[in-house]
């Protein structure tokens, strides 16, 4: 496989997926995570958002990647923070008038508050007390600040919607 071929191939994919007028393109999502990305953003089709999803498309950086394009919406920092937990390699492209005006990699935060539910039924955050959940972000998962429960694989299932 020559380098030239790879780069050319990558450019074509970029062009093919970037044709939204304005909104956000979430690129380099690990294969199979696109639906979790939609869950984080609270997109279930009910609001009539125009969303395109490419799943398991070839990627230079990951073997296969998912791409999510959301027309007419720019992500909040909270959304980007949670996104980084399930898509740590993702690139966020902000598009206005068909031009990518901002492109940044997600940066996992050190702490996420109020966005994940602790799976431990005995945790104070699940007891009905008015306590916001708070998780420390680890290298390979998250840890509840209150009870110490560590979650590695099912982070998407904890998203508080």
CA quadruple 122, 124, 125, 127: dihedral positive or negative? positive
Residue 147 marked ligand-binding = yes
**What is the three-class DSSP state of 66?**
strand
Beta bridge partners of 134: 113
Is there a binding annotation on residue 118?
yes
123 is annotated as contributing to ligand binding: yes
Q: Measure Cα distances from 12 to 8, 92, 137 in Å.
A: 6, 18, 35
Token digits of residue 20: 């939204």
Q: From the annotation, which residues make up the binding site for Zn(2+)? A: 118, 123, 144, 147
Residue list for the binding site: 118, 123, 144, 147
């Amino acid at each position: 496989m020559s380098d030239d071929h790879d780069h050319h191939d990558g450019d074509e994919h970029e062009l093919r997926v970037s044709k939204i007028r304005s909104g956000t393109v979430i690129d380099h999502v690990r294969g199979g995570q696109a639906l979790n990305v939609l869950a984080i953003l609270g997109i279930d089709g009910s609001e009539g958002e125009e969303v395109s999803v490419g799943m398991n498309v070839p990627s230079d950086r990951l073997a296969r990647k998912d791409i999510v394009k959301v027309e007419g919406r720019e992500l909040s920092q909270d959304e980007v923070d949670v996104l980084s937990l399930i898509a740590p390699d993702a690139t966020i492209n902000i598009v206005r008038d068909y031009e990518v005006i901002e492109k940044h990699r997600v940066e996992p935060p050190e702490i996420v508050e109020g966005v994940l539910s602790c799976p431990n039924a005995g945790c104070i955050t699940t007891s009905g007390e008015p306590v916001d959940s708070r998780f420390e972000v680890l290298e390979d998962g998250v840890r509840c600040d209150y009870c110490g429960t560590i979650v590695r694989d099912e982070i998407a299932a904890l998203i508080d919607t």
